[in-house]
């Protein structure tokens, strides 16, 4: 898995591992224009909050990569137009907006330099964002691994692994780091309907690294907990509000309610780039609603009446009172989250 980067820059193109085809086909998309990257983000060929951010940064680079060096106004206009369009690709993950904002800053700071130098600066920032995310995930892994007991069963939802980041992962990064320390961990993986990120991606990652894992359907979590088969729930995040409320893949909130009922700790692992200090509450986090056919169909095959109305939110918000710990790259945050997050933001 470590050898298979989710996103890479190669020779004027962005290489993206097409996650819609996993685990059965390993296909690298080679994308040479920013609209192609937007499409890859929308279709979930690249997904997971930090990975979306990194892909978005390279999309900004692509938007000006082939622009003429003599038309300054056209170059700047193209970059700004692309930035607006890239930000509209998906609404929930904070990392998308964080990464694109770093790109916009780079553009603004270098505005008076020759255009070929601006292009290189944009590329440098995008490469840095990728490296920065990997380091953040490794830090999350270090802080989180120290919290995990030896011999434990962890339930996770969706995919918060190397595929969802620049590498190592957030929730799976914690598990990877703990396993590297010799801790004996077994992971229960929610399949994660409708798009099956758990059964297609998390299974793939854990098997690649020989981490013991068992797949369950989403509706089996309650029974699993009731039988005492899980000691911890560990998930990633798409956006965390200033009070600790956390948006993550649809179904996460249900797991948190179940974990509280069964007295099982519920931890969220995320880089600081997922935290949105401008939103005081999770109720303000925009929740993406996706195409009805994602629910009516499975892997393209119709599994419901063709015309049945569907509600398909991609994320839900887990209120802070159901979260026991936030594991970030700056350290572990305990409730009440609001004060501590604000303090850590300043330091
Ligand atoms: O719709 P997706 O697959 O992009 O949703 C991804 C998740 O919900 C992940 O749990 C989250 O982005 C954390 S990734 C480190």
How much is the pLDDT for 28?
97
The answer to whether 330 and 319 have CB atoms below 8 angstroms apart is no
Find out whether the beta carbon of 236 lies less than 6 Å from any atom of ligand 1.
yes
Whether residue 252 is predicted with pLDDT greater than 60 in this model: the reply is yes
Phi, psi of 27 (to 5 degrees): -120, 125
- To test the pocket of ligand 1, the residue of 236, 240, 271 to mutate (highest count of ligand atoms within 8 Å of its CB) is 236
- pLDDT tens across 267-317, in order? 999 999 999 999 999 999 999 999 999 999 998 899 999 999 999 999 999
How much is the pLDDT for 98?
98
Whether residue 101 is predicted with pLDDT greater than 90 in this model: the reply is yes
Contacts within 8 Å (CB) and 24+ apart, 180-184: 180/145, 181/145, 182/150, 183/145, 183/148, 183/149, 183/150, 183/151, 183/152, 184/150, 184/151, 184/152
- pLDDT tens across 19-28, in order? 999 999 999 9
CB count, 10 Å around CB of 44? 18
pLDDT band at 75 (very low <50, low <70, confident <90, very high): very high
Find out whether the beta carbon of 50 lies less than 6 Å from any atom of ligand 1.
yes
Find out whether the beta carbon of 248 lies less than 6 Å from any atom of ligand 1.
yes
User: Average pLDDT in the 116-144 region?
Assistant: 98
Find out whether the beta carbon of 197 lies less than 6 Å from any atom of ligand 1.
yes
User: Average pLDDT in the 194-201 region?
Assistant: 98
How much is the pLDDT for 1?
54
CA distance 162 to 6: 8
Ligand 1 nearest atom to the CA of residue 47, by list position: 4
- Closest residue to atom 15 of ligand 1, CA basis: 160
Mapping DSSP to helix (H, G, I), strand (E, B) and coil, where does residue 254 land? helix
How much is the pLDDT for 164?
98
How much is the pLDDT for 347?
79
Find out whether the beta carbon of 160 lies less than 6 Å from any atom of ligand 1.
yes
Active site residue 238: yes
Whether residue 223 is predicted with pLDDT greater than 60 in this model: the reply is yes
Whether residue 336 is predicted with pLDDT greater than 70 in this model: the reply is yes
Rounded to the nearest angstrom, the distance between the alpha carbon of 69 and the centre of ligand 1 is: 38
Strand pairing report for 325-328 and 266-269 = parallel
Ligand 1 nearest atom to the CA of residue 90, by list position: 4
User: Average pLDDT in the 134-141 region?
Assistant: 98
- Its pTM stands at 0.97
- 46 is written with which tokens? 């690249």
- To test the pocket of ligand 1, the residue of 46, 144, 158 to mutate (highest count of ligand atoms within 8 Å of its CB) is 158
Dihedral sign for Cα 139, 314, 276, 42, please: positive
Least Cα distance to 346 among 281, 277, 247 occurs for: 277
Rounded to the nearest angstrom, the distance between the alpha carbon of 109 and the centre of ligand 1 is: 31
How much is the pLDDT for 5?
82
Phi, psi of 319 (to 5 degrees): -65, 150
CA distance 262 to 229: 11
Spell out the domains of the chain, with CATH numbers in brackets: 7-138 (1.20.120.420), 139-346 (3.40.50.10470)
Rounded to the nearest angstrom, the distance between the alpha carbon of 115 and the centre of ligand 1 is: 35
pLDDT band at 70 (very low <50, low <70, confident <90, very high): confident
Whether residue 2 is predicted with pLDDT greater than 60 in this model: the reply is no
Whether residue 172 is predicted with pLDDT greater than 80 in this model: the reply is yes
User: Average pLDDT in the 72-84 region?
Assistant: 97
Single out the catalytic residue among 132, 133, 190, 238: 238
β-strand partners of 325: 267
How much is the pLDDT for 166?
97
Compute CA distances 198 → 158, 189, 205, 288, 347, whole Å: 5, 6, 10, 19, 35
How much is the pLDDT for 280?
97
Whether residue 33 is predicted with pLDDT greater than 90 in this model: the reply is yes
The answer to whether 274 and 49 have CB atoms below 8 angstroms apart is yes
Ligand 1 nearest atom to the CA of residue 269, by list position: 15
């Amino acid at each position: 898995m470590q050898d298979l980067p989710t996103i890479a820059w190669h020779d004027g193109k962005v290489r993206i591992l097409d996650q819609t085809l996993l685990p059965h086909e390993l296909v690298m998309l080679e994308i040479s224009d920013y609209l192609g990257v937007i499409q890859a983000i929308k279709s979930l060929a690249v997904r997971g909050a930090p990975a979306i951010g990194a892909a978005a940064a390279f999309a900004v680079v692509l938007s000006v990569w082939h622009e003429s060096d003599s038309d300054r106004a056209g170059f700047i206009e193209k970059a700004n137009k692309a930035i607006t369009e890239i930000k509209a690709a998906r609404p929930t993950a904070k990392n998308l907006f964080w990464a694109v904002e770093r790109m916009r800053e780079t553009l603004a700071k270098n505005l008076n330099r020759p255009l070929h130098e601006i292009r290189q600066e944009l590329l440098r920032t995008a490469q840095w964002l990728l490296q920065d995310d990997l380091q953040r995930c490794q830090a999350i892994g270090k802080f989180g691994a120290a919290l995990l007991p030896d011999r434990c069963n962890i339930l996770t939802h969706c995919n918060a692994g190397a595929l969802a980041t620049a590498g190592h992962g957030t929730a799976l990064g914690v598990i990877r780091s703990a396993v590297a320390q010799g801790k004996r961990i077994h992971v229960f993986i929610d399949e994660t309907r409708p798009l099956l990120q758990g059964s297609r991606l998390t299974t793939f990652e854990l098997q690649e690294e020989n981490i013991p894992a068992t797949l369950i359907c989403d509706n089996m979590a309650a029974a699993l907990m009731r039988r005492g088969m899980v000691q911890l729930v560990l998930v990633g995040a798409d956006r965390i509000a200033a009070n600790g409320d956390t948006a993550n893949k649809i179904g996460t909130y249900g797991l948190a309610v179940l974990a509280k009922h069964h007295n099982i700790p519920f931890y969220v692992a995320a880089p600081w780039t997922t935290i949105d200090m401008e939103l005081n509450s999770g109720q303000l986090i925009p929740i993406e609603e996706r195409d009805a056919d994602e629910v009516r169909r499975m892997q393209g095959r119709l599994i419901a009446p063709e015309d049945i109305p569907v509600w398909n939110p991609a994320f839900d918000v887990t209120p802070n009172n159901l979260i026991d710990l936030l594991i970030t790259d700056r350290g572990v945050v305990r409730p009440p989250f609001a004060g501590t997050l604000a303090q850590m933001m300043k330091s």
